[in-house]
Each structure stands twice: as C-alpha cells, then as structure tokens.
Amino acid sequence: MLKTFLAAVSLLAIALALLAVKLFFKKPFVHTDIAGNKQLEQRGIHCVIEEQMVIEKSKQKTNKKQRTK
C-alpha cells in the first residue's frame, strides 16, 4: 500500500516538475486583460472603465464650452 502511494506521489511530482519547466521556457502568456492586450487595442476595444473616463472627459469639455458662451 505504501509503495503504491509513494509511486503515485512521485509520478505526480515528476509531472508537476515537467509542467513547471514547460511554463518557464515557453513564450510568455498572452495578456488577457483588456487594458493591456495589444490585439484588442488595435481593434478599438477598450476597457469599460477607460470608456467611462473618456465619456466623462468629453462631458466636462462640453460643459466648459457651454459655460463660456
């Protein structure tokens, strides 16, 4: 029983070590966050928070223009 358990644990340890090596030497992960993904930026897709900031800035500009008239 103990031999079977140790064999299973050692196989799992070897598999995890090989996965870790693959992760370290493989190319970096794709940046999945919308704000940092270059492909989404090229397509014009932005984060909701970023869109809200743009909308708020445009509202402030129009309010300033209306006040000065």
* Residues in contact with 40: Cβ distance below 8 Å, sequence separation at least 6, in sequence order: 34, 46
Identify whether the C-beta of residue 45 lies closer than 8 Å to the C-beta of residue 32: no
Q: Could you tell me where the DSSP H helices lie in 1-69?
A: 2-25, 38-42, 48-68
Please determine, for residue 68, whether its predicted confidence score (pLDDT) is greater than 80.
no
Does pTM surpass 0.75?
Answer: no
pLDDT at 4 over 80: yes
Least confident of 2-6, 14-18, 59-63: 59-63
* Rounded mean pLDDT, 45-51: 83
